[in-house]
Amino acid sequence: MSVSNAIEAVKKISSDLVVLLESEEYDEITKSYFSELERELKPACFLTPSSASRVVDIVKAIKPFALRSNVAVCGSGQQATTAVANVRDGLTIHLRNLRGVEIDAEKKVVSVAAGERMGKVYEKVMAAGLGVAGGPSYFSYARDFVCDNVVNYEIVLAGGEIVNANAETNRDLWIALKGGGNNFGIVTRFDLSVFEQSQLWGGKIFYFQPSFSGQIQSLVDYLHNPNADVDVHIGVSLGYAAALGDIMCMNDVFCARPEKPKALEPFADIQPQIDQMKTLRVDSLKSFTDEAFAGALSNRVLKMSTTVKADTKILDYAVETYRASFEKLKGVQNLPFSITFEPLPISMIEQSIARGGNSLGLKPSDGPLVVVLFYTSWDSPSDDKKVYDVNKEALQNIDDEAQSKNVSASYRYMNYTFTDQDPIGSYGPESKAHLQTVSAKYDPEGFSQVAGAGPFKLSK
């Protein structure tokens, strides 16, 4: 691709769409990315449309010059995986100027432009006495995956058409977009279902390592309870940060009702705990989300994960593996390093099917499952290989152990995968074949595959 030719083609439409190197706006956009691994990928320019029609103009202008891996698309830049939303020396279509949040209370839908942050969405939705599943969804056990709450996508296809994808119109594309990544076009608006919602109860609890195994057992017991309270959300973590001086434990717990439910007592009442760090309270969805993303910009970040059955022994093994990995990473400067268990209860998968399904390939018989997330942040590029190798080895060891004990699961959560992992392949051959068929139908020239940057492509 002749990047300079593509830039000139866009400039002929409007020079305001092009943000070049060494400009203040270029630096501002670069700094907005969550991870340094994305911030250090310097594109030749950012293209900043402010409407879906301008996205069409950009696609039509650059398409004649496109070759492999030269065009990236960025919404809010909060993905940690390198090269997902930015590209070195190519073109990054940044949707930061696509703004707007509109509520249709009668249809119980909020329309969110692709460049919006969820904070503004929560403000508007809560002012109307409603809730929405987005960002870190505390409603997933009852309302399934966040993608399942998208009732309509407005998307610009590679041919330059603006279409809607929903349960009635372009249904196959609607299903594909729920988990299929950036393989079909550029989404410019999400229409999300909303629901009546008061304040929530929840927060964080910090405690000590000897209690962690008991919390794993409580988590597994909850997931295997056929009558479990689905209004709750649970995450349990073990992590090191230099400021703490040691590995500590943390529970993230939430209830969609403004009260502490019995289901969360084993996690909220763990003793001993560090009372000064506890944040349990009744509060708004936005407040809890702000807490989750406090100090969101980070240094170099690696998120890698696997998925296993909800089994105490394999989760205990994962903790042992994490501790062994920590010993190998102790010398890394400014090291936060954690392991988190995020449940995928059967109720979540069942609700997903009831809402029309998605592309993730999960069946109720697969569950209950637990996503095992390794999160690492560090300062120096000289530590990149060491950090990556240690994490990769740890997850491979967990996968091997899970396979040997018949508690493995193929599913990989795309937002928690790194460049050489294959989330789309993990959905299974039937789901992947559907995604490839949809891609061929809506993008017959393969523009999103050939020109689109990012590691998670259908040809992988």
pLDDT tens-digit readout, 30-47? 999 988 999 999 999 999
pLDDT at 278 > cutoff 90: yes
The mean per-residue pLDDT over the stretch 291-305 comes to 79
Report the share of the chain in percent with pLDDT over 70: 95
User: Is pLDDT above 90 for 154?
Assistant: yes
- Band (252; pLDDT cuts 50, 70, 90): very high
- Over residues 196-208, mean pLDDT: 92
Amino acid 114: pLDDT: 93
> How distant, in Å, are the alpha carbons of 59, 60, 158, 188, 447 from that of 64?
9, 8, 11, 22, 10
CA 381, CA 191: separation in Å to the nearest integer?
A: 40
pLDDT per residue over 395-454, tens digit each?
Answer: 999 999 999 999 999 999 998 998 889 999 999 999 999 999 999 999 998 888 877 777
Predicted pLDDT of residue 323: 97
Give the helix/strand (H/E) hosting 390.
helix 384-404
Mean pLDDT for the chain overall: 91
pLDDT at 260 over 60: yes
Using the predicted structure, report yes or no on whether residue 67 has a pLDDT greater than 70: no
- Cis bond before residue 455 (omega within 30° of 0): no
State both tokens at 260: 């502490």
pLDDT value at position 34?
86
Q: What is the DSSP letter of 306?
A: E
More confident residue, 66 or 162: 162
The confidence score (pLDDT) of residue 130 equals: 59
Strand (E) or helix (H) holding 300: strand 300-309
Q: Which CATH number fits domain 3-96: 3.40.50.1220, 3.30.43.10, 3.40.50.2000, 3.20.20.70?
A: 3.30.43.10
Phi-psi region of 357 (alpha: psi -120 to 50; beta: other; left: phi over 0): left
Does 81 have pLDDT greater than 80?
no
Looking at the domain covering 101-197, what would its CATH class be?
alpha beta
Mean pLDDT of 49-76: 88
Helix (H, G, I), strand (E, B) or coil at 255: strand
d(CA 318, CA 132): 33
Both tokens assigned to 152: 């309509």
pLDDT, residue 295, reads 57
Tens-digit pLDDT profile for residues 98-128: 999 999 988 889 999 999 987 778 777 777 6
CB 21, CB 29: distance < 8 Å = no
Q: What is the residue extent of each domain of the chain? A: 3-96, 101-197, 200-422
The predicted structure's pLDDT at residue 182: 87
Q: Given a cut of 90, is residue 315 above it in pLDDT?
A: yes
DSSP label of 406: T
Residue with more model confidence, 385 or 77: 385
Contact 188, 52 (CB under 8 A): yes
- What pLDDT score was predicted for residue 396? 97
What architecture is the 200-422 domain classified under in CATH? Answer: 3-Layer(aba) Sandwich (3.40)
Q: Name the pLDDT band for 2 (thresholds 50, 70, 90).
A: confident
- Secondary structure (3-state) at 196: strand
Q: Tens of pLDDT along 344-356?
A: 999 999 988 888 8
How confident is the model at residue 197, as a pLDDT? 81
Residue type (1 letter), 260: K
75: nearest Cα among 43, 19, 117: 117
d(CA 309, CA 24): 49
Cβ-contact 161, 193 below 8 angstroms: no
